[in-house]
Structure 1
Amino acid sequence: MKLEKLIDIARLLKKRDFKPLNNFLHKKDTKSNIWKLYEGILEGKYKTDSEASLDIFGEKIPGKKFRELKNNVKEQMINSIMELDISINASDRLKATYKCEKNLFVAKMLGKTGSSNASRELYKQTYLLAKKHKITDVILCCLKNLSTFYVFRHKKKVLYDSFKEINFYKEVYAAEIQAQEFYHKIIYEVTNSKTLDPKSFEIVLEYSKIIEANIEKFKEYDSLELRICFFRIKSSAFEAIGDIKNALKVYEQTEKNLLNSSIIVSPQLLAELNAGQLICLVYLQDFEKGKLIAEKIKQILPKQTANYISFLNHYFLLSIQSNELKNALEIIKELESHELFKISFIQETEYFILFKSYLIIALLNSKNPFEVKKGNELRNNFNVFKAIDKLLETSKDKKGLNVSIIILRILFYLIEGDYSKVLDKMEGLKQYNQRYLKKNEFYRTDCFIKMIMMLEKYDFDYNQLKIHSVEYVKKLSSFRIKTTKSLFNWEIIPYENLWTIILETLRKNEES
Structure 2
Amino acid sequence: MKHLIEISKIVTKKKVKKIEIFDDHSLKQKNSKFNEFYELLMKGDLKSDQEAAHALYKSMPTDDKYRQLKSRFKKRLLNTLFFLDVNQASSSNYNRAYYSCHKDWTLVKILLSNKAQDTAAQLAKSIVGTALKFEFSDIIVSASRILRTHAMQQEDEKSYNEYNALCQKYQAILQAEIESDELYERTILNSKKSNSKAPNKIELLQSYCDRSLELSQSHPSPVILYNQFMIFATFHEVQEDYHNVYSTCETAEQYVLEHPHLYREDKLAKIALKKLLALVHLKDFEKGQIQAEAYLKIFEKNEIWLQLYEYYLLLAIHCQEYSVAHDVFERAYEDKRFKKISNEDQDKWNAFEVYLCVLLWIQTDSKNEKPKRYKQFKVKRFLEEPIIFPKNQRIFTVILVIAQVLFLLQEERLGEAFERVERLKGYSTRLLKQEEHYRITQFVRLLQQLAKAHFDYKKIGVHQKYVDRLKESSIKYRNSPNELEIIPYTHLWEMILDITNYENS
TM-score class, shorter-chain normalisation, is: 0.7 to 0.9
Report the RMSD for the aligned CA atoms in angstroms. 2.9
Tell me, what secondary structure is at the counterpart of 2:248? helix
Other-structure match for 2:284: 286
One-letter amino acid of the counterpart of residue 313, structure 2: F
Deviations 1:111-167 (A, max 9, x none): 333443332222122112122112211111111221221111111121122112212
Shift, 1:235, TM fit: 1.3
**One of 341, 366, 370 as aligned partner of 1:374:** 370
Deviations 1:33-86 (A, max 9, x none): 222222111111111111111222222353111111111111111212211112
Q: CA, structure 1 residues 454+379, in 2 after alignment: closer, same or farther (shift >3 Å)?
A: farther
Asked if the contact 1:360/1:378 (under 8 Å) is kept, the reply is no
Cα distance in structure 2, aligned partners of 1:247 and 1:299: 22
Asked if the contact 1:350/1:391 (under 8 Å) is kept, the reply is no
Other-structure match for 1:506: 500
Asked if the contact 2:276/2:288 (under 8 Å) is kept, the reply is yes
Asked if the contact 2:355/2:486 (under 8 Å) is kept, the reply is yes
Cα distance in structure 1, aligned partners of 2:74 and 2:382: 35
Other-structure match for 2:78: 78
Identity of aligned residues (%): 25
Other-structure match for 1:351: 348
One-letter amino acid of the counterpart of residue 73, structure 1: F
Asked if the contact 2:212/2:228 (under 8 Å) is kept, the reply is yes
Other-structure match for 2:446: 451
Q: CA, structure 1 residues 197+191, in 2 after alignment: closer, same or farther (shift >3 Å)?
A: closer
TM-score by length of 2: 0.86
One-letter amino acid of the counterpart of residue 159, structure 1: Y
Shift, 1:288, TM fit: 0.7
**One of 245, 252, 269 as aligned partner of 2:243:** 245
Cα distance in structure 1, aligned partners of 2:341 and 2:70: 19
Tell me, what secondary structure is at the counterpart of 1:75? helix
Other-structure match for 1:66: 66
Tell me, what secondary structure is at the counterpart of 1:305? coil
**One of 457, 471, 482 as aligned partner of 1:488:** 482
Shift, 1:274, TM fit: 2.4
Cα distance in structure 2, aligned partners of 1:195 and 1:322: 32
One-letter amino acid of the counterpart of residue 246, structure 1: N
Other-structure match for 2:7: none
Q: CA, structure 1 residues 40+485, in 2 after alignment: closer, same or farther (shift >3 Å)?
A: closer
Shift, 1:412, TM fit: 3.0
Cα distance in structure 2, aligned partners of 1:416 and 1:76: 59
Other-structure match for 2:335: 338
Other-structure match for 1:16: none
Deviations 1:338-360 (A, max 9, x none): 33334352222222111111111
Does residue 1:318 correspond to 2:311, yes or no?
no
User: Larger relative CO (CA 8 A, sep 6+): 1 or 2?
Assistant: 1
Asked if the contact 2:450/2:457 (under 8 Å) is kept, the reply is no
Cα distance in structure 1, aligned partners of 2:76 and 2:22: 12
Asked if the contact 2:92/2:263 (under 8 Å) is kept, the reply is no
Q: CA, structure 1 residues 300+462, in 2 after alignment: closer, same or farther (shift >3 Å)?
A: same
Deviates more, 1:99-108 or 1:341-350: 341-350
Deviates more, 1:477-486 or 1:150-159: 477-486
**One of 407, 413, 425 as aligned partner of 1:412:** 407
Cα distance in structure 2, aligned partners of 1:368 and 1:122: 69
Other-structure match for 1:141: 142
One-letter amino acid of the counterpart of residue 210, structure 2: K
Q: CA, structure 1 residues 496+151, in 2 after alignment: closer, same or farther (shift >3 Å)?
A: same
Tell me, what secondary structure is at the counterpart of 2:29? coil
In structure 1, list runs of 5 or more residues that go unmatched. Answer: 1-20
Asked if the contact 1:180/1:229 (under 8 Å) is kept, the reply is yes
Shift, 1:173, TM fit: 0.9
Does residue 1:93 correspond to 2:91, yes or no?
no
Shift, 1:394, TM fit: 6.8
Q: CA, structure 1 residues 395+335, in 2 after alignment: closer, same or farther (shift >3 Å)?
A: farther
Tell me, what secondary structure is at the counterpart of 2:262? coil
Cα distance in structure 2, aligned partners of 1:488 and 1:271: 23
Cα distance in structure 1, aligned partners of 2:382 and 2:338: 15
Cα distance in structure 2, aligned partners of 1:367 and 1:64: 60
Cα distance in structure 2, aligned partners of 1:383 and 1:369: 15
Q: Counterparts of 1:6-21 in structure 2 under 5 Å?
A: none
Cα distance in structure 1, aligned partners of 2:307 and 2:166: 41
Q: CA, structure 1 residues 424+29, in 2 after alignment: closer, same or farther (shift >3 Å)?
A: farther
Tell me, what secondary structure is at the counterpart of 1:437? coil
Aligned residues: 480
One-letter amino acid of the counterpart of residue 472, structure 2: S
Q: CA, structure 1 residues 30+146, in 2 after alignment: closer, same or farther (shift >3 Å)?
A: same
Deviates more, 1:481-490 or 1:37-46: 481-490
Asked if the contact 2:194/2:436 (under 8 Å) is kept, the reply is no
Other-structure match for 1:180: 181
Q: CA, structure 1 residues 37+420, in 2 after alignment: closer, same or farther (shift >3 Å)?
A: farther
Tell me, what secondary structure is at the counterpart of 2:60? coil
In structure 2, list runs of 5 or more residues that go unmatched. Answer: 1-20
Cα distance in structure 1, aligned partners of 2:93 and 2:222: 14
Asked if the contact 2:127/2:143 (under 8 Å) is kept, the reply is yes
Cα distance in structure 1, aligned partners of 2:340 and 2:477: 31
Asked if the contact 2:233/2:249 (under 8 Å) is kept, the reply is yes
Tell me, what secondary structure is at the counterpart of 2:169? helix
Shift, 1:387, TM fit: 7.5
Deviates more, 1:321-330 or 1:482-491: 482-491
Tell me, what secondary structure is at the counterpart of 2:245? helix
Deviations 1:453-474 (A, max 9, x none): 1232121236556x97555434
Asked if the contact 1:304/1:340 (under 8 Å) is kept, the reply is no
One-letter amino acid of the counterpart of residue 501, structure 1: M
Q: CA, structure 1 residues 354+290, in 2 after alignment: closer, same or farther (shift >3 Å)?
A: same
Cα distance in structure 2, aligned partners of 1:282 and 1:195: 27
Does residue 1:102 correspond to 2:68, yes or no?
no
Deviations 1:4-47 (A, max 9, x none): xxxxxxxxxxxxxxxxx972775333422222222111111111
Cα distance in structure 2, aligned partners of 1:373 and 1:43: 35
TM-score by length of 1: 0.85
